[in-house]
C-alpha cells in the first residue's frame, strides 16, 4: 500500500451508506447494550455539548474494549467518519483481522516501528483530519500494565498543533482492563467508568504543551474519580 493510494482512498472514497448503518447498529445498539447491561460501564458525560465536525478523542489504553467503548459515545451522524488508530503489527496479522478492523471497527492500521513503514502515520492522520474525519487515539501507544498510565507519545501534540481548530476531547477509561485484560479472550463483567472531559481547544500551543495538557486532563479526571468516593476518616 503506497502513500498515494492511501490518501486517495481517504480523500475520495466516501463511506457507503450501508457502512454507516452497520456501524450504527454495532456500536449504538449492540455494544451500547453490552456496555450498559452486561459490563456495567458508567458513562459520565461532560457539561458542554459535543462539538460539530472533526474531533480528536484521546484516552488511556488498557484493554481491547477501550476502542469499542469510545465508538459508543461518538455522535450517530459521524460514526462512519470516526476512525480509531490501531497497531499494524498486532491487528494486521491476518486477513480476517484486517478485514474486521477496517469494516467492523472502522479502524486505520498504522505501523508502530520505524523500520517497516511505507507511510508516515502522522501524515496519514493529518490527511484524515483534513478530509473531515475524527480520530480516536491512544497516546500511550500500547495497553501496557493494567491500571497504570504510561507517558503519552507526542503524536497527538503534532496533530493538534497542525489543526488548531479541531478540539481534543480527553477521555478517562477506568476499570475496562478488568473486564478484558491483555492476553485474555473472554469478557468477565466487572464494571467500569467512562469519563468524558471538556474539549480542549489549544491555539498557538507547542507540540509538548498540547501533549502535556491532554495528559494532565486525563490524570486529573482519574484522581477526581478516585477521590470522589473516598471515605472521610472516622471521627
Partner 1 sequence: MNKIIQAWEMNAEVQWVILIILSILVFSSTCWFIWGKIKPGKLVTELQVRTRSWWIMCACFILTTVAHPAITHLGLAFLSFALLREMYPLLKLDERERHVVMLCYMVIPVQYLLAYLGMTTLFLAFIPVFMFVVIPFILVIRGETQGIVRSISLMPYSLVAWVYGMSHLAYLFQLPEIPGFTAGPQGLLLYLIFLVGINDVLQFAWGKTIGQHAVLPKVSPNKTWEGLIGGVLSTTLIAISLRFLTPLEPWQAAFTGFCVAVAGFMGDAIASGIKRDIGIKNSGNAIPGHGGYLDRLDGFSAAAAPFFHLIYFFGVTSGG
CA distance 220 to 215: 9
Q: How far is the CB of 199 from partner 1 (least distance, A)?
A: 23
Residue 42 touches partner 1, criterion: CB under 8 A = yes
Q: Which of 125, 105, 216 is nearest to 97 (CA)?
A: 105
Nearest CB to partner 1, comparing residues 53 and 147: 147
Is 235 a binding residue for partner 1 by CB under 8 A? The answer is yes
Q: Which of these segments, 14-22, 81-89, 130-138, 180-188, binds partner 1 (CB under 8 A)?
A: 180-188
**Minimum distance from CB of 228 to partner 1 (Å)?**
8
The residue written with cell numbers 487515539 in the block is: 137
Helix (H, G, I), strand (E, B) or coil at 63: coil
- Name the segment binding partner 1 (CB under 8 A); options: 17-25, 39-47, 80-88, 135-143: 39-47
Q: CA–CA separation, 155 vs 207, rounded Å?
A: 8
Determine if 37 is a binding residue for partner 1 (CB under 8 A).
yes
183 sits near partner 1 (criterion: CB under 8 A): no
Q: What is the distance between the alpha carbons of residues 202 and 116, in angstroms, rounded to a whole number? A: 33
Q: Which is nearer to partner 1, 146 or 165 (CB)?
A: 146
Q: Is 137 exposed, middle or buried (0-12, 13-18, 19+ CB in 10 A)?
A: buried
Residue 60 C-beta: closest distance to partner 1, Å: 17
Cα–Cα nearest to 175, from 31, 35, 15, 54: 35
The residue among 211, 149, 191 whose CA lies nearest residue 65 is: 191
Contact flag: residue 40 with partner 1 (CB under 8 A): yes
Q: Minimum distance from CB of 101 to partner 1 (Å)? A: 26
Residues that bind partner 1 (CB under 8 A): 37, 40, 42, 44, 146, 175, 178, 181, 184, 186, 188-191, 193, 229-232, 234-235
Amino acid at each position: 500500500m503506497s502513500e498515494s493510494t492511501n490518501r486517495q482512498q481517504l480523500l475520495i472514497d466516501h463511506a457507503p451508506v450501508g457502512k454507516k448503518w452497520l456501524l450504527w447498529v454495532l456500536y449504538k445498539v449492540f455494544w451500547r447494550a453490552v456496555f450498559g447491561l452486561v459490563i456495567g460501564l458508567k458513562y459520565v458525560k461532560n457539561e458542554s455539548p459535543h462539538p460539530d465536525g472533526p474531533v480528536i478523542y484521546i484516552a488511556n489504553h488498557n484493554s481491547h474494549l477501550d476502542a469499542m467503548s469510545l465508538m459508543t459515545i461518538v455522535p450517530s451522524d459521524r460514526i462512519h467518519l470516526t476512525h480509531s488508530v490501531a497497531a499494524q503489527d498486532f491487528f494486521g496479522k491476518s486477513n480476517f483481522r484486517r478485514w474486521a478492523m477496517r469494516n467492523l471497527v472502522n479502524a486505520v492500521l498504522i505501523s508502530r516501528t520505524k523500520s517497516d513503514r511505507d507511510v508516515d502515520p502522522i501524515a496519514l492522520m493529518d490527511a484524515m483530519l483534513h478530509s473531515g474525519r475524527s480520530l480516536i487515539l491512544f497516546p500511550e501507544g500500547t495497553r501496557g500494565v493494567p491500571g497504570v498510565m504510561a507517558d503519552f507519545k507526542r503524536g497527538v501534540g503534532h496533530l493538534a498543533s497542525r489543526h488548531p481548530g479541531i478540539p481534543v476531547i480527553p477521555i478517562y477509561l477506568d476499570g475496562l482492563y478488568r473486564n478484558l485484560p491483555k492476553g485474555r479472550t473472554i469478557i468477565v463483567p466487572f464494571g467500569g467508568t467512562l469519563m468524558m472531559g471538556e474539549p480542549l481547544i489549544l491555539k498557538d500551543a507547542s507540540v509538548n504543551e498540547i501533549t502535556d495538557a491532554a495528559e494532565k486532563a486525563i490524570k486529573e479526571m482519574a484522581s477526581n474519580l478516585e477521590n470522589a468516593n473516598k471515605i472521610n476518616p472516622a471521627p
